[in-house]
Amino acid sequence: MTSFVSICIVLGSMRVSLLSAEAEITVSGHVGSTAVLPCELQSVGTETPHIWWITESEDVFEREGEESDQGEGYEGRVDVPEEELRKGNCSLVLRNLTLTDAGVYTSYQIVRRSKRSASLMSKRDLISRVNLSVQGK
Ligand SMILES: *[C@@H]1O[C@H](CO)[C@@H](O)[C@H](O)[C@H]1NC(C)=O
Ligand SMILES: *[C@@H]1O[C@H](CO)[C@@H](O)[C@H](O)[C@H]1NC(C)=O
Ligand SMILES: *[C@@H]1O[C@H](CO)[C@@H](O)[C@H](O)[C@H]1NC(C)=O
């Protein structure tokens, strides 16, 4: 009986993660404009969340508290404002769009498994997937 229940829980959570991986939002903007790629965390703890945005081939942006990193080609154009992230809003602001910015962007929250374990022992939770399309002027 116990094992039946736990199998159901495993299957249930697999279905949820598959569904959320497919749920894709589309955002579009013109060359030179600013796009906001939506992202929202379910819950926010006392620590500022650690958020990571990537495309299929490159790092775009990473923020952990005050520390942030901008990917190659995105320097000076990307941000997840810290004060928004504290509220659980992990939306990516991408300024001065170029045609090559078009693509699928994925955001992850990096979560440490336990306070005691090494930082290597962390997992990443998929938060949102956004298909950005960019139109010429
Ligand atoms: C989330 O952050 C983005 C970018 O900073 C902002 O444009 C948007 O209005 C914020 N959304 C909410 C619900 O506060
Ligand atoms: C926007 O990007 C173009 C090249 O893609 C560059 O020439 C221009 O200076 C940039 N504008 C701003 C305001 O950063
Ligand atoms: C992203 O959106 C564009 C325009 O709507 C579409 O042509 C393209 O197939 C989409 N890409 C993916 C990976 O869904």
Residue 78's domain comprises 26-135
Other CB atoms within 10 Å distance of the CB of residue 92: 24
Over the Cα atoms of the chain, what is R_g? 17
Other CB atoms within 10 Å distance of the CB of residue 44: 14
Express each pLDDT in 105-124 by its tens digit: 999 999 876 666 555 567 88
Residue nearest to atom 10 of ligand 2 (CA): 96
Q: Is the CB of 34 under 6 A from ligand 2?
A: no
Kindly report the backbone phi and psi dihedral angles of residue 37, in degrees, each rounded to the nearest multiple of 5, phi listed first: -95, 115
- Write the CATH number for 102: 2.60.40.10
Q: Which ligand is nearest to the CA of 82?
A: 1
Confirm whether 104 is domain-assigned.
yes
Confirm whether 53 is domain-assigned.
yes
**pLDDT given at position 5:** 42
Give CA–CA dist 49/118, Å, rounded: 18
Best residue among 96, 99, 134, 137 to mutate for probing ligand 2's pocket (most ligand atoms within 8 Å of CB) is: 96
Express each pLDDT in 12-63 by its tens digit: 444 444 445 555 799 999 999 999 999 999 888 777 899 999 999 999 999 9
Q: Which ligand is nearest to the CA of 31?
A: 2
Confirm whether 31 is domain-assigned.
yes
Strand partners, 103: 132
Confirm whether 4 is domain-assigned.
no
Ligand 1 midpoint to CA 69 (Å): 20
Confirm whether 13 is domain-assigned.
no
